Amino acid sequence: MANFSLEGKIALVTGASYGIGLAIASGFAKAGATVVFNDINQDLVNKGLAAYEAEGIKAHGYVCDVTNEDQVNAVIAQIEKEVGVIDILVNNAGIIKRIPMHEMKAAEFRQVIDIDLNGPFIMAKAVLPSMMKQNSGKIINICSMMSELGRETVSAYAAAKGGLKMLTRNIASEYGEYNIQCNGLGPGYIATPQTAPLREPQADGSRHPFDQFIIAKTPAARWGNPEDLVGPAVFLASEASNFVNGHVLYVDGGILAYIGKQP
């Protein structure tokens, strides 16, 4: 259907050198969009450019720290000059620190909040004026199930993602009249380099205890793949979602709907 097409659109995906960001940006390119991405240093940008080229995608990569407002404003201006006005922003860049809360330093907590919550605020703020001017735009925030659930060792991440869920709703509320839709994508447990330590086999060859836990708690009985997020992301980036605003679409294999098997 034509309303799922991204032909003629320019999509910026933050932190999209690998993993979920790379999968979403590649999906956008296959749906017709021009892909722009950033990362924190030139090595990661080069890694991303090589990955897109291997898939036959011409991507535009920029070095930018999403927590640095001056850098972000300069890069957005550069992208608008060199590529064009951004139609779609995906706030994908993020980190997690798995540390028990009583052992976590305030500086570590602030770093997670800065990248995972302040970064999306700064990025959205930078693209909104041009979106308002053209009376259209899509902002997709990668929220996570941890905007709904708590778990040991992820206090900062859960706080950031919960805040990002509410920022998503507020952007939708404040800018919907400009035909700008802001929605969240909430991945479940996805097999990426970030989650690789949780899936490493034990010395005896058995599954990692956390791996076993996730398989048992997921009706799909598997981890998600980055590709599982592509269809939902394309939907939220396309005209098909023009009346969907302030929503978080959870792509979690059913975890949030499931109480778990009786022992």
Quick: pLDDT tens for 124-149: 999 999 999 999 999 999 999 999 99
Reply yes or no on whether 175 is catalytic. no
Type of residue numbered 51: A
| Residue among 46, 1, 51, 45 at smallest CA distance from 29 | 51
Reading the block at residue 38, the tokens are 């950033």
Rounded Cα distance, 32 and 91, in Å:
20
Rounded Cα distance, 220 and 190, in Å:
12
Rounded Cα distance, 145 and 189, in Å:
9
3-class secondary-structure state, position 55: coil
Distances in Å between the alpha carbon of 173 and those of 166, 169, 179, 247? 10, 6, 11, 11
Instruction: Over range 37-61, report the average pLDDT.
Output: 98
Q: Please give the radius of gyration of the chain, using alpha carbons only, rounded to the nearest integer.
A: 18
pLDDT of residue 261: 83
Reading the block at residue 45, the tokens are 């940008």
Instruction: Over range 209-216, report the average pLDDT.
Output: 93
Rounded Cα distance, 133 and 87, in Å:
11
3-class secondary-structure state, position 138: strand
Type of residue numbered 216: A
pLDDT per position as a tens digit, 222-263: 999 999 999 999 999 999 999 999 999 999 999 999 998 877
pLDDT of residue 260: 85
Per DSSP, helices labelled H in the chain are 19-30, 42-54, 69-82, 106-113, 119-134, 155-175, 209-217, 230-237
pLDDT of residue 193: 82
Per the residue annotation, which of 62, 157, 175, 250 is the catalytic one? 157
pLDDT of residue 1: 60
Question: Residue 154 above 90 pLDDT?
Answer: yes
Contact by Cβ (8 Å): 33, 9:
yes
Dihedrals phi, psi of 149, to nearest 5 degrees? -120, 155
| pTM metric for this prediction | 0.96
Q: What domains are there in the chain, each with its CATH number?
A: 2-190+226-256 (3.40.50.720)
Query: What interhelical angle do 42-54 and 19-30 show, nearest 10?
Result: 40
Distances in Å between the alpha carbon of 236 and those of 93, 112, 146, 230, 239? 18, 26, 20, 10, 8
